[in-house]
Amino acid sequence: MALAHVLGVPRIGANRELKFSQEAFWRGEIDAAALKAVGSGIRQANWQRQHAAGLDFVTVGDFAFYDQMLNHVALLGCAPARFGFGETLELAQYFQLARGNAACHAMEMTKWFDTNYHYLVPELKPDSRFSLGAQWLFDEVAEAQTAGFNVKPVLIGPLSFLWLAKEKAAGFDRLDLLDRLLPVYAQILARLKTQGVEWVQIDEPILSLDLPSGWRAAFERAYHHLNAAGVKLLLASYFGPLRENLLTALKLPVAGVHVDCVRGGDELAQVIDWLPATKVLSAGVIDGRNIWKSDLNAVFERLEGLHLRLADRLWLAPSCSLLHVPASLAGEAGLDAELKSWLAFADEKIAALATLKTGFNEGRPAVAAALSDNARALASRHASQRVHDEAVAARLAALTSLHDARNKPFTARQALQRERFRLPLFPTTTIGSFPQTAAIRSARARFKKGEIGAAGYAAAMQREIRHAVEKQEALGLDVLVHGEAERNDMVEYFGEQLTGFAFSQNGWVQSYGSRCVKPPIVYGDVSRPQPMTVDWARYAQSLTGKPMKGMLTGPVTMLQWSFVRDDQPRAATALQIALAIRDEAVDLEAAGIGIIQIDEPAYREGLPLRRADWPPYLEWASRAFRISASGVNDATQIHTHMCYSEFNDILPAIAAMDADVITIETSRSDMELLRGFGDFDYPNEIGPGVYDIHSPRIPDAEEMVRLLEKAAQVIAPEKLWVNPDCGLKTRGWAETEAALSQMVAAARSLRQACQRAVAR
C-alpha cells in the first residue's frame, strides 16, 4: 500500500482571508481572538481537504500568521534580543518582529531559495540561546487531533534553520550554535511524541545547495541526536537534486526521506540504489513549483517497479510544499475551458495525488477514467494551436549572432549618443514610475469595470503623463520618463498584451506576510500582435524637448515572475519574450524615442541554486536581454535597471548584457554594493541609486554627494548617472518632489566641483 501526503499547502485561504484579517488586525479593527479564529478556519479547511482526498496524513505546522521561519524563531525562543520580548510571544509581538515597531526596525526579509516567497531572517549572535518558546505548533497538533485527523507535523530542520539565519556579530560561525539548538529540537520532538505523533516531517531544503563540508558533516551529528527522541523522522529535501549531498541524506539515522523527483528526477535510480532497506521513500512526483497538470500515466510507468519493491514504504507527494502555487482552480470562471483543463493548482494537485494513490494500491483500472482524462488534457495541450505558433518557431530558428549584438561596440555607441543627447556630466534621471495616486488607481478600476470608455481612460492617463512631465521639467531632470501611470504591474501590463500569456482571477500566491502576487501564466508561444507602449511614449515625448525614456520590462523578469511552460526549456520561453520586447523597442525608436530602458530587476533572482548551474543560465539570460535590446540603432541608448540583489558575483554577466547604461540599487548599502567595481572594470555607464525609495525619509543633497563621491572612487565620473534606487510608484508626490530636488542639486554641485577641478 503506497501512502500519500503533502509537504505543506497554501495558507492564505481560498479567498485571501488571511491577508484581509491580518491587515484588519494591524489596523486595530479586529482583535487577536478574531484573527486566530480565521487562522483556525483556514487550517481546518486545509486539513479537511487533505483528509477528504484520502491522504494518509494531514500536515500540521505549515500554517503561519506571517512566515514559517518566523514561527520557528518563536518556537525556538530566539527572537532578536533587541526587541526585548520575553520567551513566549504574543501575536502582536510576533508581528512586530516582522514589521518593526517604534523602537526597532523589522527583521530582515529575503527570498526563500529560488521562489518568490520571502522569509524573515533569524538573527544570531555568539551568545544566542534557544529554548522551547511559542506553543502554537503543539496547540495546532492538538487541534487537528481533536478534529480526528492523523497528524504529521512539519518542522524546518536545525541545519536549514541555521543556514538561513544571519550572523549579527563578527567573528563567529553560526554552525557553532548547533549544539545549543539540538536539545531544543529534541524537546520539541519529545513533546510531539507525548502528543501521540508517529511521524514528523523535518525539512532540510539546504540539501539541494552547495554545502561546505563542515555543514554536510554536521548533518550526521544532528540527526543522531534527534533520532534519540523516538519519533519517526521524514527528512525532506526539495528544490533540486541532492548531488554530492545524496549519500549524506540517505544514510542519516531517520525513518524516511523525501526527494524532489521533478527537479531531481535523474537521481531517482541512484536514490533507490542507496536507500537502506528499512527506510520510507517519499517520492515528490507532482511539481509543486508550477501550475501544470502532471502526466499521471508517466508517474505510473516510472514508479510501478519501485512500488512493487517498497510497497508501503513508498509515499507519494508533490515535489515541495504547495505554498508556491495558488489554492484552487474552482473559482476560475474566467479562464478559457481548454486552458483550464491543462492546469492544476494546489487542490487539483492533491486530487492528482489521490488518483495516484488509488491507482498504485488498487490497480490502474480503478482510476481508468481519471487517467484517461489526464491523458486527454495533456494531449490537447501538446497539440494545441494556441500553444504552438509556427511563425514564432521560425523566428527563433532564424536567430543568429547578429541578433544578439548591437552594430558597434559600446565606446563607438557612446560617442554617437553623447553627440546626440549632449547630456551634462552626472546626468539625472529616474527609474520609471511616479506615484500611483488614488486618482490613477480609480481611473484604472473604472476602466476595467467599463464605467469609463477607452477615450476617457486615455485622457485621464494623458493628464497624469503631462503632470509627471511638468514636474520633471520643473525639477530640472535631464532624462525624463512618462511615469507608468497606465501600468498596474510591470509584468502583467506587458503579459496582457502578448499572445501566449493568460491571467487567473484568483490565482494568488503568498509573497510575504499579507502580500500576495498573482503571477501570469505563460502557456504558449509568445508574440506581440501590436505595439504596447508606443502611444503613451510618443505622447510623453511630444510634451518636452528633453529626451523621454521609453520603459519596457525585460525577458528574464517577465519569465521569473510568471508561471512558465514546462514543455520547453525556460531559455526558449525567454528568447520568445525577448523577440516580442525587441519589436517594441524598434517601434519605440521609430516613434522618436531615443532612450529605452529595459528593466531586469529579477535578473539575479533567476540564478540557479547551485553555482555549477550558473554559467549556462547567465549565458542564455544575457543573450535574451541582448536580443531584446539590439534591434535598435547605435545612437539609441539602451538602459537597464536592477534592484535588491548582490551584483558583485555576476558583474561579468551583467557587463555581457551590454546595456549602454545600468541603474542599480546601492544606497541602502551605502554604496557597499559597488565593492566589486573596484576589481572588475565595468565597461559601460552606470547609475548607482543615490537614495532609498522604500523609505519616506528625504535625504539631503550633501548625503547624495557623499555617496556619489564614494561611487566615483571605483567608477570613472564620466560614466556616472544620478538616479534613485528604484521606481517611485509607492511614494507620494510631496516626498518625491522634495527628494528629487535634492538629487538634482547634488548632481549640480558635483558638476561644479568638476568644472573647478578642470579650471585649476
Residue ranges binding ligand GLN (CB under 6 A) = 431-433, 484, 490, 551, 599, 601, 641, 643, 726-727, 729
Residue closer to ligand GLN by CB (options 284, 495) is: 495
Largest Cα separation within the chain, whole Å, is 90
**First vs last Cα of the chain: how many Å apart?**
87
126: exposed, middle or buried (Cβ count in 10 Å: 0-12, 13-18, 19+): middle
Residue nearest to ligand GLN (CB): 727
d(CA 113, CA 44): 28
Backbone angles phi, psi at 59, to 5 degrees: -90, 130
Q: For residue 423, give Cα distances in angstroms to 430, 595, 709, 751.
A: 15, 12, 20, 12
Q: Shortest approach of ligand GLN to residue 729 CB, angstroms?
A: 5
CB closer to Zn ion, 417 vs 553 = 553
**Least distance to Zn ion from the beta carbon of 674, Å?**
16
Distance of CA 219 to the CA centre of its chain: 28
Nearer to Zn ion, 61 or 601 (CB): 601
Q: Which three cell numbers stand for residue 731?
A: 511614494
Using DSSP's 3-state secondary structure scheme, residue 553 falls into: strand
What is the spatial distance between Cα 627 and Cα 578, in angstroms, rounded to a whole number? 6
Cα 396 from Cα 398, distance rounded (Å):
5
- Tell me the three state secondary structure of residue 358: helix
152 or 729: CB nearest ligand GLN: 729
Residue 490 interacting entry, from Zn ion, ligand GLN, none, C-beta within 5 to 8 Å by type:
ligand GLN
> How far is the C-alpha of 562 from the C-alpha of 324, rounded, in Å?
12
Give the one entry of Zn ion, ligand GLN, none that residue 639 binds, where binding means its C-beta sits below a cut-off of 5 to 8 angstroms depending on kind. none
CA 55 remoteness from chain centre: 29
Q: How far is the CB of 571 from ligand GLN (least distance, A)?
A: 23
Judged by beta carbon, residue 321 or residue 723, the one nearer ligand GLN is 723
Angle, helices 570-590/534-542, rounded to nearest 10 degrees? 30
* Beta strands at 232-236 and 256-260: parallel, antiparallel or unpaired: parallel
When CB distances are held under 5 to 8 angstroms depending on the partner's kind, the choice from Zn ion, ligand GLN, none that residue 10 binds is none
Which one of Zn ion, ligand GLN, none interacts with residue 91, CB within 5 to 8 A by kind?
A: none
Catalytic residue among 51, 388, 403, 694: 694
Q: Which is nearer to Zn ion, 10 or 550 (CB)?
A: 550
d(CA 576, CA 598): 16
Please identify, using beta-carbon distances, which residue of 495 and 601 lies nearer to Zn ion: 601
Query: What is the smallest separation between the CB atom of 487 and Zn ion, expressed in angstroms?
Result: 14
Q: Which amino acid is at 465?
A: I
694 carries an active-site annotation: yes
Type and span of the H or E element at 640: strand 637-642
Using CB distances below 5 to 8 A depending on partner kind, what does residue 123 bind out of Zn ion, ligand GLN, none? none
x-marked contacts with Zn ion along 598-627 as a string, rule CB under 5 A? ---x--------------------------
| 404 binds, options ligand GLN, Zn ion, none, Cβ within 5 to 8 A by partner type | none
The partner in contact with residue 599, picked from ligand GLN, Zn ion, none with C-beta cut-offs of 5 to 8 angstroms by kind, is ligand GLN
Which residue number, 282 or 560, has a Cβ lying nearer to ligand GLN?
560
What is the closest distance, in whole angstroms, from the C-beta atom of residue 644 to Zn ion in the complex?
A: 7
Q: What span, in angstroms and rounded, lies between the C-alpha atoms of 433 and 486?
A: 10
Of the two residues 355 and 433, which places its CB atom closer to ligand GLN in the complex?
A: 433
Task: Find which of ligand GLN, Zn ion, none residue 433 binds, CB within 5 to 8 Å per kind.
Answer: ligand GLN
Stretch that binds Zn ion, among 13-21, 43-51, 688-696, 726-734 (CB under 5 A): 726-734
726, 739, 743, 750: which one binds Zn ion (CB under 5 A): 726
Minimum CB distance to ligand GLN, residue 640 (Å): 10
Q: Whole-angstrom Cα distance, residue 480 to residue 540?
A: 9
Per-residue contact flags (x/-) with Zn ion for residues 548 to 587, judged by CB under 5 A: ----------------------------------------
Question: CB of 462: closest distance to ligand GLN in angstroms?
Answer: 19
Enclosing H/E stretch for 321: none
Cα torsion angle, 577, 581, 584, 586, sign:
negative
688 forms part of the interface with Zn ion (CB under 5 A): no
Cβ atoms of 87 and 133 within 8 Å: the answer is: yes
Q: Which residue, 162 or 726, is less far from Zn ion as judged by CB?
A: 726
Choosing among Zn ion, ligand GLN, none, which partner's interface includes residue 551 (Cβ < 5 to 8 Å by kind)?
A: ligand GLN
Min dist. Cβ of residue 81 to Zn ion (A): 33
The distance of closest approach from Cβ of residue 602 to ligand GLN in the complex, given in angstroms and rounded to an integer, is 8
Give long-range contacts, CB 8 A cutoff, 24+ apart: 89-96.
89/133, 89/134, 90/32, 91/25, 91/32, 91/35, 91/36, 91/65, 92/32, 94/65, 94/66, 94/70, 94/134, 95/22, 95/25, 95/26, 95/65, 95/66
Which of 295, 247, 252 is closest to 273 using CA atoms?
A: 247
Judged by CB under 5 A, the stretch of 56-64, 94-102, 227-235, 638-646 that binds Zn ion is 638-646
**Residue 595 in contact with Zn ion, rule: CB under 5 A:** no
Kindly tell me which residue out of 643, 693, 711, 746 binds Zn ion, with binding defined by CB under 5 A. 643
Which residue lies nearer to ligand GLN by CB, 39 or 483? 483
Q: Which residues contact 760 (CB under 8 A, 6 or more apart)?
A: none
Nearest approach in angstroms of CB 431 to Zn ion is 6
Nearest distance, CB of residue 377 and ligand GLN, angstroms: 35
Contact segment (CB under 5 A) with Zn ion among 99-107, 494-502, 561-569, 642-650 equals 642-650
Query: Are 642 and 665 in contact, with CB atoms under 8 Å apart?
Result: yes
Query: Taking a C-beta distance cutoff of 8 angstroms, is the pair 242, 207 a contact?
Result: yes
Phi, psi dihedrals of residue 721, rounded to the nearest 5°: -110, 160
Q: Are the beta carbons of 6 and 59 closer than 8 angstroms?
A: yes
Q: Residues in contact with Zn ion, total (CB under 5 A)?
A: 3
Q: Say which entry of Zn ion, ligand GLN, none residue 432 contacts (CB below 5 to 8 A, set by partner kind).
A: ligand GLN
Residue 729: which of ligand GLN, Zn ion, none does it interact with, CB under 5 to 8 A by kind? ligand GLN
Active centre residues (catalytic): 694
Residues that bind Zn ion (CB under 5 A): 601, 643, 726
